[in-house]
Amino acid sequence: MTRHLLDLADLDAAGVADIIRLCGTDTRPLDGSSVAMVFEKPSARTRNSTEMAVVDLGGHPVMITDAEVGIDRRETAEDVIRTLACYHRIVAARVNDHNVLERMRSTLDGARIGVGLVNLLSDHSHPCQAVADVLTLADEFGGIHALAGRTVTYVGDANNVTVSLSQAMLASGVNVRVAAPVGYQLTEAMVASIERFSSEGATLVQTDDPVAAAQGADALYTDVWVSMGQEADAEVRRLELADYTINEELVAVGAPGVIVLHCLPAHRGEEISHEVLEGPASRVWRQAAHRRTAMRGVLRWLMGED
Ligand code: CP
Ligand code: NVA
């Protein structure tokens, strides 16, 4: 069966561990193959890290903007994926609506087309970011096998990044605390998709108290208050999330050696203070660099490596 990566919840913990392990090998399974990268939304890290990871693995990346293909406007998502499958071994897509990825996967599998599909961020999840997040923590805390029992606290809007982060953390035995105001917390469906990894012994807890959640945490993590596509609600979101900033006071209650992560782009003075982003606890640039390492693992896994 051809592999796809739409959401980490489609895998088990061993599958997540396989991807992470493949980040550290040196195979080039894309020799002679190409990868289409379709973006319905802007990107700096994902576009560049994916493009360079394809090159690292011997492949040829082709960047396609939504203005060119017009998913469900110029032609249906089904026709877009069938067309791209004529030329490419893997299609990587950043979409507004996660359901578009589901439809593309059904089209590929229904027609038994051996082309892999990978989610480069949807409104529901961001699995490739989460692989990079695990690698960044592993760097800091003595390797992937030393992560079990650590605690990551996410502060702010519980969103697509939070879902994938929490899935990857629980799959790696890392406890997750999410601090968000009511209305911005993980929904029941999101929690269920995360807790499918609780067999690894780690737990997910939610609270509206960021200080309690940060107490003794090994890493603090945040993301924008206004995700792409939520711009119409920006003003109210900034008001309602105003107490959920990672600042020096919050870092001070973390464990000794606490680090700070942010998937970026950052809005200094909103979800994170300038001092913390640029301060000694920040690992955000290492994390951004790991997007390329992570994509190598994801692409190797999509190509069938274990
Ligand atoms: N973190 C992340 O996905 O960044 P971009 O939106 O710039 O790709
Ligand atoms: N939650 C953000 C992540 C950006 C990388 C968004 O979806 O816009």
pLDDT digits (tens, 9 = 90+) for 190-205: 999 999 999 989 999 9
CA of 113 to the centre of ligand 2 (A): 30
pLDDT value of position 1: 77
Give the H/E segment covering residue 13: helix 13-22
9 to 35, 39, 127, 148, 269: CA distances (angstroms): 24, 23, 9, 19, 33
Could you say which ligand is closest to the alpha carbon of residue 287? 1
pLDDT digits (tens, 9 = 90+) for 82-141: 999 999 999 999 999 999 999 999 999 999 999 999 999 999 999 999 999 999 999 999
CA atoms within 13 A on the CB side of 268: 7
Q: Which CATH number fits domain 129-288: 3.50.50.60, 3.90.1150.10, 3.40.50.1370, 3.40.50.300?
A: 3.40.50.1370
Beta-carbon contacts of 290 under 8 Å, excluding residues fewer than 6 positions away, are 132, 133, 135, 136, 139
In this chain, the answer to whether the domains covering 8-125+291-302 and 129-288 adopt an identical fold is yes
Of 34, 28, 30, nearest to 84 (Cα)?
A: 34
User: Does residue 223 have its Cβ closer than 6 Å to ligand 2?
Assistant: yes
pLDDT value of position 240: 98
Domain ranges of the chain: 8-125+291-302, 129-288
The distance in angstroms from the start CA to the end CA of the chain is 14
**Percent above pLDDT 70 for the chain:** 100
Find the mean pLDDT for residues 208-229: 98
Q: How confident is the model at residue 212 (pLDDT cuts 50, 70, 90)?
A: very high
Beta-carbon contacts of 218 under 8 Å, excluding residues fewer than 6 positions away, are 137, 141, 150, 151, 152, 254, 255, 257, 258, 259
Q: How confident is the model at residue 143 (pLDDT cuts 50, 70, 90)?
A: very high
User: Does residue 160 have its Cβ closer than 6 Å to ligand 2?
Assistant: yes
Which residue's entry shows tokens 């490419």?
88
pLDDT digits (tens, 9 = 90+) for 28-52: 999 999 999 999 999 999 999 999 9
Helices 160-171 + 188-195 axis angle, to 10: 30
Domain 8-125+291-302 CATH superfamily = Aspartate/ornithine carbamoyltransferase (3.40.50.1370)
Beta-carbon contacts of 285 under 8 Å, excluding residues fewer than 6 positions away, are none
Average pLDDT, the chain: 98
pLDDT digits (tens, 9 = 90+) for 180-191: 999 999 999 999
CA of 46 to the centre of ligand 1 (A): 5
User: Does residue 129 have its Cβ closer than 6 Å to ligand 1?
Assistant: yes
CB 101 within 8 A of CB 117: yes
47 to 36, 54, 208: CA distances (angstroms): 11, 11, 34
User: Does residue 264 have its Cβ closer than 6 Å to ligand 1?
Assistant: yes
Query: Dihedral (C-alpha) 70, 75, 78, 80: value to the nearest 10 degrees?
Result: -50
Helices 160-171 + 13-22 axis angle, to 10: 90
Contacts of the segment 235-238: beta carbons below 8 A, 24+ positions apart: 237/157, 238/270
| Phi, then psi, of 10 in degrees rounded to 5 | -75, -15
Mutate to test the pocket of ligand 1, among 37, 40, 46, 47 (most ligand atoms within 8 A of CB): 46
CA atoms of 99 and 79, how far apart (whole Å): 15
